[in-house]
């Protein structure tokens, strides 16, 4: 097939823009020979259970799905009754970026709390964790946190534990949207288990697509008592892959070795390099009118730009507005972002400001 795109075009819009890591592509090709039983009864999906157990401990169960929205919808649906609600940050992906799927498909009321940095706390959760037993109010029976958050910040293991202990004390379950969980682990320098199962998370959406996979996410049940009916809900919600071996093979390529961590560490390092370059430009006067609005703890940066600069900068590098009302933008680095990409972007920003 003749390429239909210019492979020299680079951007900072999203880690979804990047291609597939060569090792993941190779894993798909390896899984392609011969026949395997469909719908998850294949050798790759079976092996994936062992791979996730190595990271999260014995007795966990992984359910491969196509995308992050599917993982969140099916995972949350398995945690809540029809009258249940989930408390989440107002900036959470399940509230802002999933087309209403958790509410329309899963039938779950989302109770949102504004946060300055995308992170919930026990005190913030209490703003919506009330009305238990009131038949007029959707019952707040779960908390969903994102790691790393939509604002690029990262929960420490102690922060997750505080949330889980508080939620469990109220009879609530804890869900983690881990679309960028590898970036959080790389930032924290701790094993995946340290801020998930060991910290009290019940059900995890494990992200692969943003970290070098083609289309591969998984719902990981860390506490079987907190989830019910996933085997049936995954099919009902159109997330059951007939040729599941190809989804599982992608995840295996990431998590059996350290590819997941190498990819995320590189993306984080490129984000840190970009921030350092911009801050150096601000300090020496080469970059003017730019200010960061959040700490850079993973692979995303948030900044305000002088009026009109974003559109001119986008003529060479694609990225998104975050809050156009105050000229705030988001820049995201990927596993394949290069030093040259970062340096060229910083140089163009300096030229335009």
Kindly report, residue by residue over 149-164, the tens digit of the pLDDT. Answer: 999 999 999 999 999 9
Residue 170: Cβ within 10 Å count: 17
- The answer as to whether 153 is a domain residue is yes
Min mean pLDDT across 7-11, 41-45, 84-88, 105-109 is at: 7-11
- The answer as to whether 246 is a domain residue is yes
Across 179-196, average pLDDT: 98
- The answer as to whether 16 is a domain residue is no
225 and 147: one domain?
A: yes
Q: Identify the CATH number of the domain in which residue 342 sits.
A: 3.90.1150.10
- The answer as to whether 208 is a domain residue is yes
- pLDDT of res. 110: 98
- The answer as to whether 267 is a domain residue is yes
- The answer as to whether 11 is a domain residue is no
- The answer as to whether 205 is a domain residue is yes
- pLDDT of res. 9: 87
Which structural domain range is residue 92 located in? Answer: 22-257
Half-sphere exposure for 25 (CA within 13 Å, toward CB): 4
Q: Identify the CATH number of the domain in which residue 106 sits.
A: 3.40.640.10
Q: How many degrees, rounded to 5, is the angle at CA 131 between CA 127 and CA 135?
A: 145
- pLDDT of res. 7: 87
Place of tokens 């507005």: 321
Percent of the chain with pLDDT over 90: 97
Domain count, the chain: 2
76 and 211: one domain?
A: yes
Place of tokens 């819009």: 13
> What's the longest Cα–Cα distance across the chain?
62
106 and 223: one domain?
A: yes
Q: Band of the pLDDT at 298, cuts 50, 70, 90?
A: very high
Q: Band of the pLDDT at 8, cuts 50, 70, 90?
A: confident
- The answer as to whether 17 is a domain residue is no
272 and 239: one domain?
A: no
Of 241, 257, 273, which residue is a domain's last?
257
Residues 6+ apart with CB under 8 A from 254: 21, 24, 182, 208, 211, 212, 213, 216, 260, 263
Handedness of CA 13, 17, 22, 28 (dihedral sign): positive
- pLDDT of res. 139: 98
Burial 289-320 (b: 16+ CB within 10 A, else e): ebeebbebbbbbbbbbbeeebbeebbeebebe
Across 41-46, average pLDDT: 98
228 and 307: one domain?
A: no
295 and 188: one domain?
A: no
Of 217, 234, 257, which residue is a domain's last?
257
Q: pLDDT tens, 241-263?
A: 999 999 999 999 999 999 999 99
- Residue with the larger pLDDT of the pair 10 and 221: 221
30 and 165: one domain?
A: yes
103 and 167: one domain?
A: yes
125 and 198: one domain?
A: yes
Across 111-128, average pLDDT: 98
- pLDDT of res. 195: 98
């Amino acid at each position: 097939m003749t390429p239909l795109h210019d492979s020299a075009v680079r951007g900072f819009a999203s880690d979804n823009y990047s291609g597939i890591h060569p090792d993941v592509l190779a894993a798909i090709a390896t899984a392609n020979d011969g026949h395997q039983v469909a719908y998850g009864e294949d050798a790759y999906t079976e092996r994936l259970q062992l791979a996730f157990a190595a990271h999260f401990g014995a007795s966990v169960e992984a359910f491969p799905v196509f995308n992050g929205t599917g993982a969140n919808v099916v995972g949350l649906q398995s945690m809540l009754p029809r009258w249940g609600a989930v408390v989440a940050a107002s900036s959470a992906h399940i509230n802002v970026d999933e087309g209403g799927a958790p509410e329309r498909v899963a039938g779950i009321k989302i109770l949102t709390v504004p946060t300055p940095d995308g992170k919930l706390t026990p005190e913030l959760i209490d703003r919506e964790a009330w009305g238990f037993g009131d038949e007029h109010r959707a019952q707040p029976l779960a908390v969903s946190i994102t790691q790393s958050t939509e604002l690029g910040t990262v929960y420490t293991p102690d922060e997750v534990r505080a949330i889980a202990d508080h939620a469990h004390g109220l009879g609530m379950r804890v869900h983690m949207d881990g679309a960028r969980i590898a970036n959080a682990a790389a930032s924290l320098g701790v094993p995946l288990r340290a801020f998930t199962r060991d910290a009290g998370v019940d059900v995890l959406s494990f992200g692969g697509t943003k970290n070098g996979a083609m289309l591969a996410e998984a719902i990981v049940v860390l506490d079987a008592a907190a989830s019910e009916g996933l085997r049936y809900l995954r099919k009902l919600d159109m997330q059951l892959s007939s040729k599941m071996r190809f989804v599982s093979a992608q995840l295996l390529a990431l998590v059996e070795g350290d590819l997941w961590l190498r990819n995320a560490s590189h993306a984080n390092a490129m984000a840190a390099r970009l921030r350092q370059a911009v801050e150096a430009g601000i300090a020496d006067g080469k970059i003017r009118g730019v200010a960061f609005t959040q700490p850079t703890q993973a692979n995303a940066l948030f900044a305000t730009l002088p009026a009109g600069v974003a559109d001119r900068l986008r003529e060479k590098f694609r990225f998104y507005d975050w809050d156009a009302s105050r000229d705030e933008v988001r820049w995201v680095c990927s596993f394949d972002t290069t030093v040259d990409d970062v340096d060229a972007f910083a140089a163009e920003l300096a030229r335009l400001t």
